[in-house]
Structure 1
Amino acid sequence: MFTRRTFARLAGAASLAPAASRAQSGKPLSRIAFGSCAKQTLPQPIWEPILAYRPDLFIFAGDNVYGDFHSPDAADLKGAYAEAAHIAGYAKLRETVPHLAVWDDHDYGVNDGGAEFAHKMVAKELFLDFWKVPANDIRRTRGGIYDSRVVGPPGQRVQVILLDVRWFRSPLRITDQRGAPGKQRYLPDPDPAKTMLGSEQWAWLAGELRKPAELRLIVSSTQVLAEGHGWERWGNFPLERQKLVDTIRTSGAKGVVLLSGDRHIGALYREVPDGLYPLYEATSSGLNMVYWAAKEPGPNRLGALFAAANFGVVEIDWPARTLLLALRDESGDTRRAVDISFDALGIL
């Protein structure tokens, strides 16, 4: 059964009223929406279909504003948050729908940024304040903004794990052929000293995956499974990508599904690692930032890229033991989808 305290922590101060009423109902999560890449200076009509979808939870998966900055005053990032706060649909969702958030590079403060970013502490404080994170939240005292929540009664628990792939991430290996297909910006780096998450976050993730839950949504702002392109992705550090798979396998966690953003395109992916059930990934990007001309190989992609404004959904049918991963467009219509049985994800 949900408790008022559990859902208040999930939703944050911005949506205590709907969170409280939902907590009293004791219903498990069944409709989760997520999205990324919302530039505050451009129209954002997509909030209307998102609100019409009536999600139980919305996950802001990064680039929630575009506020790159290069000085300690972080004026551009402060301005981006101020402008986003007055976008009607954005504000209404934050006020009425329980939500969680993680950053990507443009709300971290620098394009494709990682551990080397000099002003990341300022960006972190601005992020936590915008998302109304309580003063006693552990994210205010440790490095990065990674976080996790388990919501729902036994037998219907959903764990949402928000990874921070910026704060600790090692420098990327620059391409030797900028713009070439598959090598657009970066090349895979086999250096075992390179990291995506940092030792502290890796240890935390292993512990989180051992907590009781039926379904687990791992949110990584950058793509995990996608192959065939040379932009940011976990494949830039192939040993770290393998470590993520190994960590899931070793933990014994069942029901893991991956959610990502960043790319200004939508897509669904499936991969079957050795000794593990199939991993599925839904990439939803962007809410209003779109790479219309996107073309790339997709050896593990399910269907074609969706190069238009979109948001992702995870629909859970607990009695039928199935979930739907889907991408919806600005009209709220489903444009890409895959049905997955609990059995296929090892969920008992």
Structure 2
Amino acid sequence: MFRYFLPLLFFITPVSADSAPAGPMLGHVALRAANIWVQAPEPGKLTIKYWTQNNKDTQHTITAEINNGYGQSHTFKLNNLEPGTTYQYQLLFNGEPLNNAKTYSLTTQTLWQWRTDPPDFEIITGSCNFENEADYDRAGDPYGGQHEIFNKIATEDADMMLWLGDNWYYREVDYDAEQSLLYRVLRHKSYPHLQPIFQKFPNYATWDDHDYGPDNSTKSFVFKEQALNIFKHFWANPSYGMPDHPGVYTKVSFNDVDFFLLDNRYYRDHENKIDGPDKHYYGQKQLNWLQNQLLTSRAPFKFIVGGGQMLNNFHKYDGWDKYRHEREPFLQWLDDQKITGVMMLSGDKHHTELLKAERENAYPLYELTCSPLTAGTHIGALDQISQNPRLVKNTLVGERNYCKIAFSGPRKDRRLEIKVLGVNGQEYWRKQIKSSVLSYDQVN
């Protein structure tokens, strides 16, 4: 019962309605619905007004009573929208305009199915965002830096932002109490350089260890339930787990591409446990969910998204390869079921790389790892990392970076192009992959 009273113990200094709390943050945007996360300055009535662009006669209003739990945050769920339509919205607190009466906008997804080819679109993705706090950081040089990368991301003409985990970093002073976890997240959400990204793109997220709990944390983390509740309150994803099986895993369908965001922490055994059928990374229930989703999906690209790497066999720590009794049957299942278009997308590693796993009588599996945004890099270990036999030549990047993935082409000949971009937008590499390559039709 303690967790229900905890928000009363966590004091947050109120701010006036003329100042700017964190957000709003645009979350899941569908064909006829949208999620918008908002933070109120203090407990009270928070209102969102939204209307079709340049037509206030269509205005709708939703009001929510906000208490002091979870930093006075709330996710509005807009409905009865129309596909492919731009809407404007404003926020009010206790009847007064919030954020200097600023107007924000969102555009719903296009209803292209059975009508046209899918739209061309782009997503931005990355992981490992470390915001320095000198009193509680490690001794020595600050671990985080070059936060101007977010200024560059905010200028991108993209359609979605996908956060791959370690989206904030809990410190030693944070993960021994729920209210300390909450402090870290509230601090993270308030950074000015993140607000343009929160407001411009639909934001989706999965987690890894540092925005779940301690370094390399597992299902043994004593505040795992509280960490999940915090994550659910601060990201406006389409869903979270299943009613009888909690977690951050969900499916995001964006135009004609499916992203399956997985939870690699809530059910995870420690990697030092002897491998066997009772050692779990995702857990069988989550994998059953994923398998059913993949069987149902008709997307030309089906991204399995996780906080940690899945195909890397050439590293010491923290990956699905340490759980072979779980991983290998799943990979074999992909082949047995002839699931086309599968790619992996991950963060965590503090470098970016593209891995390619060749399979006998099956198309190769690719994994794009994109890391870090602002955390420290593994630039000193690149010589060793470059020896990985699955590494695609010239794709290893040891500098802070983000990735842009563009999808284009007619419905039956879709392709994607990956670009890896630096703090100032400089291009490190690009690669195109056609959906036809990720098909059993191409297998001899």
Q: TM-score range by the shorter chain?
A: 0.7 to 0.9
Q: Is the 8 A contact 1:314 1:323 kept in 2?
A: yes
- Cα distance, 1:244 vs structure 2: 3.0
Which of 101-110 and 40-49 deviates more? 40-49
Query: Residue 196 of structure 2 corresponds to which residue in structure 1?
Result: 92
Q: Is the 8 A contact 1:235 1:241 kept in 2?
A: yes
Q: Distance in 2 between matches of 1:234 and 1:19?
A: 39
Q: Distance in 2 between matches of 1:143 and 1:29?
A: 34
- Cα distance, 1:133 vs structure 2: 5.1
Q: TM-score, normalised by structure 2?
A: 0.67
Determine if the alignment matches structure 1 residue 310 to structure 2 residue 401: yes
Q: Is the 8 A contact 2:36 2:236 kept in 1?
A: no
Determine if the alignment matches structure 1 residue 107 to structure 2 residue 197: no
Q: Is the 8 A contact 1:104 1:262 kept in 2?
A: yes
Query: Residue 197 of structure 1 corresponds to which residue in structure 2?
Result: 282
Aligned partner of 1:113: which letter? S
Q: Is the 8 A contact 2:205 2:237 kept in 1?
A: no
Query: Residue 55 of structure 1 corresponds to which residue in structure 2?
Result: 158
Query: Residue 23 of structure 1 corresponds to which residue in structure 2?
Result: 109
Query: Residue 3 of structure 1 corresponds to which residue in structure 2?
Result: 31
Q: Distance in 2 between matches of 1:52 and 1:314?
A: 15
Q: Distance in 1 between matches of 2:368 and 2:240?
A: 28
Which of 248-257 and 16-25 deviates more? 16-25
Q: Distance in 1 between matches of 2:301 and 2:76?
A: 25
Question: CA 1:120–1:151 in structure 2 vs 1: closer, same or farther (change >3 Å)?
Answer: same
- Cα distance, 1:166 vs structure 2: 0.5
Q: Distance in 1 between matches of 2:290 and 2:35?
A: 19
Q: Distance in 2 between matches of 1:28 and 1:252?
A: 26
Determine if the alignment matches structure 1 residue 298 to structure 2 residue 391: no
Q: Is the 8 A contact 2:204 2:236 kept in 1?
A: no
Q: Is the 8 A contact 1:67 1:79 kept in 2?
A: no
Question: CA 1:208–1:24 in structure 2 vs 1: closer, same or farther (change >3 Å)?
Answer: closer
Aligned residues: 324
Identity rate of aligned residues, in percent?
Answer: 25
**Matched residue of 1:33: which SS?**
strand
Q: Find the structure with the greater CA-based Rg.
A: 2
Query: Residue 258 of structure 2 corresponds to which residue in structure 1?
Result: 159
1:73 aligned to 157, 170, 178, which one?
178
1:287 aligned to 373, 376, 382, which one?
373
- Cα distance, 1:20 vs structure 2: 4.3
Q: Is the 8 A contact 1:74 1:123 kept in 2?
A: no
Query: Residue 338 of structure 1 corresponds to which residue in structure 2?
Result: 431
Question: CA 1:323–1:84 in structure 2 vs 1: closer, same or farther (change >3 Å)?
Answer: same
Alignment of 1:188-227 (within 5 A): 189-211=274-296, 212-227=298-313
**Matched residue of 2:130: which SS?**
coil
Query: Residue 83 of structure 1 corresponds to which residue in structure 2?
Result: 187
Q: What does the per-residue CA deviation read over 1:193-221, in whole Å, with 9 as the maximum and x for residues that have no partner?
A: 21111121011011110122221111111
Question: CA 1:205–1:282 in structure 2 vs 1: closer, same or farther (change >3 Å)?
Answer: same
Determine if the alignment matches structure 1 residue 168 to structure 2 residue 267: yes
Structure with more strand by fraction: 2
Superposition misfits of 4+ residues, deviation over 6 angstroms: none
**Matched residue of 1:126: which SS?**
helix
1:244 aligned to 327, 330, 333, which one?
330
- Cα distance, 1:46 vs structure 2: 1.0
Q: Distance in 1 between matches of 2:121 and 2:304?
A: 17
Structure with more helix by fraction: 1
**Matched residue of 1:31: which SS?**
strand
- Cα distance, 1:47 vs structure 2: 1.1
